[in-house]
């Protein structure tokens, strides 16, 4: 499952962080940023992104050749796909579309047509939040921030250590992002055009199954990224075969203030001590307290045995 993410980079920094090499060239190219739609809502950097928020999503430019000069483009989209058949207010479809399960994609009335029509995308984040559901004894679920392993002295919850720099010869040198596979759709009525997406999830592997039984489909190699975005040459079934549970991730516990989606501050992804629930068992002092001797008045004499005559 994936219900919250974080991305604090501004528009220009996101373009730099998503830079890529074109085959046959030695320089890095920044993807174009396509114009906003989404009923006037724009991408706002945030440490606590929730469904219905707008975030930058990486897609192939094959459908936007008139608007883009690069092979990949960044398009701001709303988190939570609007079903193509929905009528009326785009916020009133009442379906949970924040995530879509990998194992159900090909049989889904909603997601399979989008997949077959080339609606593959990559959601760009610095990290995502997950609440521990495997510890049933916890009354308050501990939230964690999960992110890519960082280089050198970079700490994901301390932006002052990021050293965000870019040049065409060496590419992006800043904070390492997570790239999550997803599906997107373009919905419109007479008034608005909404670009929206869902994050693909899969069964957790040993990296995260201690935390939650589901995890996002994360693309951590260039081969995976290229295959997932190449909707013109990589067919859907082949693209799905590239989605594997990622093994290398980092994480730390965060405060429960992230539970409220209105909290967007830098404190959301700060490392904290884990929540410790009170132990319902006896304390050591209780186990080793002296046992009082029974008073003689509490003792009872054994019943006399009957004598056979």
The two beta strands, 193-203 and 178-188, are antiparallel
Q: Where are the alpha helices (DSSP H) in 29-131?
A: 111-116
Residues labelled catalytic = 2, 130
Estimate to the nearest angstrom the gap between the alpha carbon of 259 and the chain centroid.
Answer: 14
Cβ atoms 239, 122 nearer than 8 A: no
Torsion of CA 179, 61, 76, 121, to 10 degrees: -40
Helix, strand or coil, per DSSP, at residue 239? helix
200 phi/psi in degrees, rounded to 5: -80, 130
How many residues would you count in the chain? 309
Count Cβ atoms below 10 Å from residue 36 Cβ, excluding itself: 14
Buried-exposed string 262-293: b where 16+ CB fall within 10 A, e elsewhere: eebeeebbbebeebeeeeeeeeeeeeeeeeee
HSE of 173, CA atoms in CB hemisphere, 13 A: 11
């Amino acid at each position: 499952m994936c219900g919250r993410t974080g991305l604090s980079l501004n528009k220009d920094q996101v373009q730099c962080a998503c830079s890529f090499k074109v085959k046959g060239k030695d320089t890095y190219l920044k993807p174009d940023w396509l114009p906003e739609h989404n009923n006037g809502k724009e991408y706002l950097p945030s440490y606590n992104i929730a469904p219905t928020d707008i975030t930058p999503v990486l897609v192939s430019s094959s459908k936007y050749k008139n608007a883009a000069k690069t092979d990949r483009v960044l398009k701001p989209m709303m988190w939570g796909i609007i079903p193509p058949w929905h009528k009326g207010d785009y916020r009133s479809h009442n379906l949970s579309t924040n995530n879509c399960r990998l194992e159900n994609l090909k049989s889904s009335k909603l997601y399979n047509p989008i997949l077959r029509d080339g609606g593959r995308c990559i959601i760009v984040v610095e990290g995502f939040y997950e609440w521990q559901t495997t510890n049933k004894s916890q009354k308050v679920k501990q939230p964690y921030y999960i992110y890519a392993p960082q280089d050198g002295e970079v700490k994901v919850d301390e932006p002052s250590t990021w050293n965000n720099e870019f040049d065409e010869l060496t590419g992006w040198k800043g904070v390492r992002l997570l790239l999550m596979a997803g599906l997107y759709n373009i919905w419109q009525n007479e008034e608005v055009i909404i670009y929206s997406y869902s994050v693909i999830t899969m069964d957790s592997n040993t990296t995260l199954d201690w935390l939650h039984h589901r995890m996002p489909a994360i693309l951590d190699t260039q081969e995976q990224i290229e295959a997932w975005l190449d909707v013109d040459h990589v067919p859907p079934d082949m693209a799905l075969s590239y989605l594997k549970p990622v093994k290398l991730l980092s994480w730390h516990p965060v405060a429960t203030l992230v539970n409220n989606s209105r909290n967007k501050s830098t404190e959301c992804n700060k490392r904290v001590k884990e929540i410790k629930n009170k132990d319902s068992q006896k304390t050591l002092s209780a186990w080793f307290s002296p046992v009082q001797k029974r008073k003689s008045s509490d003792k009872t004499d054994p019943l006399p045995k009957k004598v056979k005559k």
